[in-house]
Structure 1
Amino acid sequence: MKKKFLISVLVLSIMVFVFGFNVAFAKQKVLVFGSSGDAVRLDPGDVTDGESIQRMDNIFEGLVEYKPGTTEIQPCLATSWEISPDGKEIVFHLRKGVKFHDGTDFNADAVVFSLARQYDPNHPFHKYGEWAYWGYMFSDIKEVQKIDDYTVKIVLKKKNASIMTSMAMFTVNIVSPANAKKYGEDAFKHPVGTGPFKFVEWIKDDHITLIANENYWRERPKLDKLIFKVIPDPSARLLALETGQVHGIEYPNPADFERIKKNPDLVLLTQPGMNVGYMAMNTGYGYVDKNKNGRRDADEPWVKTPGYYEPLTKKKVRQAINYAIDKKSIVENIYRGTAIVAKNGMPPFMLGYNEDIKDYPYDPEKARELLKEAGYPDGFEVTLYVMPVSRPYMFDPPKIAEAIQGYLGAVGIKVKLYQIDWGTYLEETEAGKHQMALLGWTGDNGDPDNFMNVLYGPNSASIGSAGNIAFYRDSAVQYLFDKALETYNPSDRAKYYKAAQVIIRDDAPWVYLAH
Structure 2
Amino acid sequence: FAGWNRGSEIALEANPDYFTASPKGRPVAVRVAYRFVPDAGTRVADLLAGAGDLVRAVPVDQTETVESGGARVVVQPLSGTAWVRVPTDEAPFDDVRVRRALNHAVDVDAVRVALLGGAGDRLPNFFVPGGLGFDPDLRPYTYDPDRARALLAEAGHPDGFATTLEHSADERADVVTAIAGMLEAVGVRAEVRSVEKATFNGTWTDPSVAPLRFVTWRPLFDPYTLLDLLISRSGYLSRHDNPTAQPLIDDAAVETDPAARAELYRQLGRVLHDEPAAIYLYGLTARYGLAGDAPAWTPRSDDYIIPTAR
What TM-score does the superposition give when structure 2 sets the normalisation length? 0.79
Identity %: 24
Find the residue that maps to 2:118 and give its secondary structure.
Answer: coil
2:169–2:194 contact (8 Å) kept in structure 1: yes
Matched residue, 2:35:
228
Partner AA of 1:209 in structure 2: I
Q: Select the residue among 10, 29, 34 that pairs with 1:209.
A: 10
Match among 438, 447, 450 for residue 222 of structure 2: 447
How many Å separate the matches in 1 of 2:174 and 2:210?
19
**Kept in 1: contact 2:77–2:120 (CA 8 A):** no
Q: Does 1:428 align with 2:203?
A: yes
Deviations 1:413-443, CA, capped at 9 Å, x for gaps? 1121101212222112354533111112111
Corresponding residue number in structure 1 for 2:303 = none
Report the Cα distance in structure 2 between the residues aligned to 1:457 and 1:415, rounded to whole angstroms: 26
The residue that corresponds to 2:306 in the other structure is none
State the alpha-carbon separation in 2 of the partners of residues 281 and 490 from structure 1.
30
Structure 1 SS opposite 2:244 = helix
Map 1:462-477 onto structure 2 (within 5 A): 462=236, 466=237, 468=238, 471-477=239-245
2:276 is the counterpart of 1:508: yes
Sort the Cα spacing of 1:356 and 1:243 in 2 relative to 1 into closer, same or farther, 3 A: same
In structure 2, do the counterparts of structure 1 residues 478 and 208 end up closer, same or farther at CA, with 3 Å as the change threshold? farther
State how far apart, in whole Å, the 2-side matches of 1:279 and 1:402 are: 12
Q: Is residue 367 of structure 1 aligned with residue 174 of structure 2?
A: no
What's 2:66 paired with?
A: 260
Alignment TM-score, normalising by the size of structure 1: 0.49
1:402 to 169, 173, 177: 177
- Is the CA contact 1:428–1:434 (under 8 Å) kept in the aligned structure 2? no
Structure 1 residue 507, shift from structure 2 partner: 1.8
Q: Does 1:218 align with 2:18?
A: yes
Change in CA separation of 1:455 and 1:440 when aligned onto 2, cut-off 3 Å: farther
Q: CA deviation at 1:322?
A: 0.8
Unaligned runs of 5+ in 2: 20-26, 284-310
Local SS of the residue matching 1:488: coil
Q: How does 1:302-451 map to 2 (within 5 A)?
A: 309-390=90-171, 397-429=172-204, 431=206, 433-443=209-219, 446-451=221-226
1:280-335 Cα deviation digits (max 9, x unpaired): 11222xxxxxxxxxxxxxxxxxxxxxxxx422222211111111110111112111
RMSD of aligned Cα (Å): 2.6
Write the deviation string for residues 377-397 of structure 1: whole angstroms up to 9, x where unpaired: 11111111123214xxxxxx2
Q: Unaligned regions of 5+ residues in structure 1, if any?
A: 1-196, 285-308, 391-396
Letter of the 1:442 partner, please give it. R
Per chain length, whose mean CA-contact separation is higher, i.e. which structure has more relative contact order (CA < 8 Å, sep 6+)?
A: 2
Asked if 1 retains the 8 angstrom alpha-carbon contact of 2:162 and 2:188, the reply is yes
Per the alignment, residue 274 of structure 1 pairs with: 79
CA distance in 2, matches of 1:377, 1:241: 52
1:108-158 deviation digits (Å, cap 9, x = unpaired): xxxxxxxxxxxxxxxxxxxxxxxxxxxxxxxxxxxxxxxxxxxxxxxxxxx
